[in-house]
Amino acid sequence: GAVVSQHPSWVICKSGTSVKIECRSLDFQATTMFWYRQFPKQSLMLMATSNEGSKATYEQGVEKDKFLINHASLTLSTLTVTSAHPEDSSFYICSARRRGAYNEQFFGPGTRLTVL
């Protein structure tokens, strides 16, 4: 149990376009989902925390108008990178936490974004 999927697993887009990444909890209800970004040879950096039905909380330095997060249901959160630029190229990873399991985060397989 506790499987988290992401779609797509990789995406290549042109500069200026928008890209949507989906994060789904397949066998549990995720009350909280987290979005991370990882650049090559660097660690995971938390971008934002989203709770089902409420606005996401963004970390300092993350542009909320550029990285739109929607957590509309207990099994789905989406991250939309708007007007993507080459510097947004990165590995985006989501994780999900279920109600009552505060210490456990289940990670998705990640989405590799390349902006040309």
Query: Which residues are near other proteins by CB under 8 A?
Result: 32, 34, 42-46, 49, 57, 91, 93, 95, 97, 102-103, 105, 107-110, 112
Q: Any idea what DSSP says for residue 15?
A: T
CB-wise, 20 or 112, nearer to other proteins? 112
CB-wise, 83 or 114, nearer to other proteins? 114
CB-wise, 78 or 105, nearer to other proteins? 105
Rounded to whole angstroms, the maximal C-alpha distance in the chain is 42
CB-wise, 4 or 81, nearer to other proteins? 4
Taking Cα atoms as reference points, which of 5, 10, 3, 2 lies closest to residue 78?
5
Q: How far is the CB of 81 from other proteins (least distance, A)?
A: 18
Q: How far is the CB of 103 from other proteins (least distance, A)?
A: 5
Q: How far is the CB of 15 from other proteins (least distance, A)?
A: 23
DSSP assignment of 43-111 equals --EEEEEEETTS--EEPTT--TTTEEEEEEETTEEEEEE-S--GGG-EEEEEEEEETT-TT--EE---E
